[in-house]
């Protein structure tokens, strides 16, 4: 059935939605529910305006060109990037516990694979600085995301003050500069934190991840919820060789992987270990 609400600025049919749903599934693994039609309309309408187009069909024609710059904008528009500092705080306690359980490790390699706007990798850096009591803790944090726009924001490390106001005064003082003048109302993470985090544009669906060495910890939080179970399984299977035998995989609070019990085993609340361990 071809329906399009007449109160809309652009003609948007069920068939347009079905094509978009298939495209974003193919490119990002994102499994859009039928209930997301209005969200898709509103997010992509902006792209139609930017490109001076009159209909979704024209927009889809533009996306048919694999070399079009719009490909990345399309993906960026359909990701959901909600993030916050020390979200699901128990994982940062588990991270510190991992540091203390492995005193012999010279360096901890940590991959934050859906880093969004940077709150998560910077929280990892803060937890490491707090645990080791210095600004150059033995950690390497790789922060990746599919969305280039959020990664740029993450690299800059500038946030509205409201995003950090729930942090303790001690953390605010230790890890952020407060903006003055034109920058009042903003905070910037200190360069010592930025120095610990390496940012990378990476699609979890891609087959060739550019890592030589496995990680001690993988933070994969609040991204699997956008994937269906077969995609989750494929990504989890690819994690296996990239996680050390004694490594941990952190998942989001509403994510669980009973369908991948041959790959990962739940150790405690949303913290997984390799099934072979």
Ligand X SMILES: C[S@@+](CC[C@H](N)C(=O)[O-])C[C@H]1O[C@@H](n2cnc3c(N)ncnc32)[C@H](O)[C@@H]1O
Binding of ligand X at residue 252 (CB under 6 A)?
yes
Q: Which of 5, 7, 14, 43 is catalytic?
A: 43
CB 129 within 8 A of CB 193: yes
Give the footprint of ligand X on residues 39-98 (CB under 6 A): 79-83, 87
Specify whether 265 is catalytic. Answer: no
Name every residue whose Cβ is closer than 8 Å to that of residue 256 and which is 6 or more positions away in sequence.
266, 270
Binding of ligand X at residue 141 (CB under 6 A)?
no
CA triple 185-191-197, angle to 5 deg: 110
State the burial class of residue 20 (Cβ atoms within 10 Å of its Cβ: 0-12, 13-18, 19+).
buried
Give the footprint of ligand X on residues 171-200 (CB under 6 A): none
Binding of ligand X at residue 203 (CB under 6 A)?
yes
Q: Determine whether the annotation assigns residue 163 to a binding site.
A: no
d(CA 177, CA 212): 35
Tokens of 193: 């934190």
Q: Determine whether the annotation assigns residue 87 to a binding site.
A: yes
- Taking CB under 6 A as the criterion, the residue among 154, 204, 224, 251 binding ligand X is 204
- Taking CB under 6 A as the criterion, the residue among 24, 74, 120, 224 binding ligand X is 120
Specify whether 93 is catalytic. Answer: no
Name every residue whose Cβ is closer than 8 Å to that of residue 51 and which is 6 or more positions away in sequence.
59, 62, 70
Give the footprint of ligand X on residues 205-224 (CB under 6 A): 205, 221-223
Q: Which residues are near ligand X by CB under 6 A?
A: 28-30, 79-83, 87, 114, 116, 120, 145-147, 150, 203-205, 221-223, 226, 252
């Amino acid at each position: 059935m071809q329906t399009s609400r007449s109160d809309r600025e652009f003609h948007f049919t069920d068939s347009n939605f079905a094509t978009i749903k298939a495209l974003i599934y193919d490119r990002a693994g994102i499994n859009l529910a039928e209930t997301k039609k209005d969200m898709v309309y509103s997010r992509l309408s902006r792209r139609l305006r930017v490109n001076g187009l009159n209909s979704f069909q024209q927009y889809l024609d533009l996306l048919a060109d694999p070399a079009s710059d719009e490909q990345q904008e399309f993906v960026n528009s359909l990701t959901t990037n909600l993030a916050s500092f020390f979200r699901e705080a128990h994982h940062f306690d588990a991270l510190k516990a991992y540091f203390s359980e492995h005193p012999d490790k010279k360096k901890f390699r940590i991959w934050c694979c859906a880093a969004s706007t940077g709150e998560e990798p910077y929280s990892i850096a803060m937890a490491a600085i707090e645990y080791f009591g210095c600004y150059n803790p033995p950690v390497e944090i790789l922060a990746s995301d599919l969305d280039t726009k959020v990664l740029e924001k993450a690299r800059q490390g500038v946030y509205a003050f409201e995003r950090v106001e729930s942090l303790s005064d001690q953390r605010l003082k230790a890890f952020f500069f407060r903006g003055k003048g034109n920058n009042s109302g903003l905070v910037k993470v200190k360069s010592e934190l930025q120095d610990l985090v390496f940012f990378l544009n990476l699609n979890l669906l891609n087959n060739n991840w550019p890592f030589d060495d496995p990680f001690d910890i993988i933070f994969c939080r609040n991204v699997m919820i956008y994937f269906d179970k077969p995609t989750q399984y494929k990504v989890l299977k690819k994690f296996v060789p990239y996680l050390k035998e004694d490594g941990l995989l952190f998942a989001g609070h509403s994510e669980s992987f009973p369908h991948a019990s041959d790959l990962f085993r739940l150790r405690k609340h949303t913290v997984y270990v390799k099934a072979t361990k």
